[in-house]
Amino acid sequence: MTTDVEDALGVSLSRGLPPLKERKNLLTDFDQMHGWYIQKSAYAALKLDGGEQSFDYQNKYLRINLRYRHDCGGNPSIAFDIVDASIRPVFSDMERRQRMRDAFEAERTRREADIARFKQTDRTFIGLLLILYQMEDLCCGRQLAFDNWQLHSTLLSGWHARHG
């Protein structure tokens, strides 16, 4: 019996992709380098979806589809192309991907604790936007906290391999 990571690694190598751990590190660095632009893009997406005050944070998320660039030479700033990004209903993509749904559900308690903490410590808090980066066999979650003044990146977590 193989693990998700072993399965994903086999898929990765069969597609000529670097090992999963290397792509995780590249994506973490890519996110840090381009985080400001991604935050501004997320904010614009919220504005187009009715604004941060009326956005349904519990039932919608921002999905960013990435493609690994084989010509990046290990440079995280150019390691991925953003193929597309869209606001989507939370379970629209997860119905066919049980592992993705399981990972989302596993993070629910932490998300709810984060929301409760923000509500207690920041009276201007509006909501947490879940962002999922998806590529080939890898999915990564990130949260952005919104308040009346600006948005704040809170964490990069939830790595898991996926199939399908």
What mean pLDDT is reported for the chain?
A: 76
Position with higher pLDDT, 149 vs 39: 39
Predicted local confidence at residue 40, as pLDDT? 85
> For 26-35, 71-80, 105-114, which range has the lowest pLDDT when averaged over its residues?
105-114
Confidence band of 107 (pLDDT split at 50, 70, 90): confident
Arithmetic mean of pLDDT, 133-160: 59
CA dihedral 88, 93, 98, 99 (to 10 degrees): -70
End-to-end C-alpha distance for the chain, whole angstroms: 19
pLDDT in tens, 27-47: 889 988 998 888 888 888 888
Helix-helix angle 4-14:20-48, to 10 degrees: 90
Position with higher pLDDT, 69 vs 10: 69
Predicted local confidence at residue 145, as pLDDT? 67
pTM of the model: 0.74
Run of H or E including 127: strand 125-135
Position with higher pLDDT, 103 vs 10: 103
Do residues 28 and 44 make contact, with C-beta atoms less than 8 angstroms apart? no
Q: Tokens 């010509």, residue?
A: 71
Predicted local confidence at residue 156, as pLDDT? 35
What angle is formed at CA 151 by the lines to CA 132 and CA 44, rounded to 5 degrees? 70
